[in-house]
Amino acid sequence: KVVFLIVMLNKYIKNIKITRLRKFNSSQAIKILEIRNQENVRINMINTQMIPQKEHFVWFKNILKNKFEYFYLISIKNNISGLLRFSKKNHEVEWSFYLKKEKQKIYGGFVEYIAINKAYRLKKISILSCKVFSHNLGVLSLHKKFGFKNKKKKKYDERILIFLSLFKKNWN
């Protein structure tokens, strides 16, 4: 059983490539916008409205200019399938990622594992934090499986936003 599990882990992880974005590329930006505008992604974001291309491009370019923001393209089987974002503040990184709907169930946990390791390789990071709406039970469950703990809750436009954190000392 253990050998089978290791083979399956390797099978899925080797299909995932996470590449840091440093320059604006309109074709990549459009693919990311398509994912951001999927209903299953939007309902779990702060902004639940459809995002116009022009607004998305401005947002994308501004993040790429910010030295405290780290943007990564998530490719699965060589297809753009999502985005990973780290926002560094002192010794803490706030992070988020989203995937195409058809990739979430199979690859979500593997992407989270890779992302946590990548975040803790950034210099002087001791805390990884995120925000998840209370209705997003699958993601809350996944984060808790990786050791994230609830810090606080806050009401946001009739929804409950849960703040979670994972300390590096609890990850290693």
Are 103 and 82 in contact by the 8 Å Cβ rule? The answer is yes
| φ, ψ dihedrals at 3, nearest 5° | -60, -45
Whether the per-residue pLDDT at 25 is higher than 60: the answer is yes
> Percent of the chain at pLDDT above 70?
94
Whether the per-residue pLDDT at 10 is higher than 90: the answer is no
The residue that leads in pLDDT, 106 or 76, is: 76
User: Which stretch of 5-9, 50-54, 99-103, 159-163 has the lowest confidence by average pLDDT?
Assistant: 5-9
Query: Where do the H-state alpha helices sit in 26-171?
Result: 26-36, 39-42, 53-65, 101-120, 137-145, 168-171
102: confidence class by pLDDT, cuts 50, 70, 90:
confident
Q: What is the Cα–Cα distance from 157 to 163, expressed in whole angstroms?
A: 16
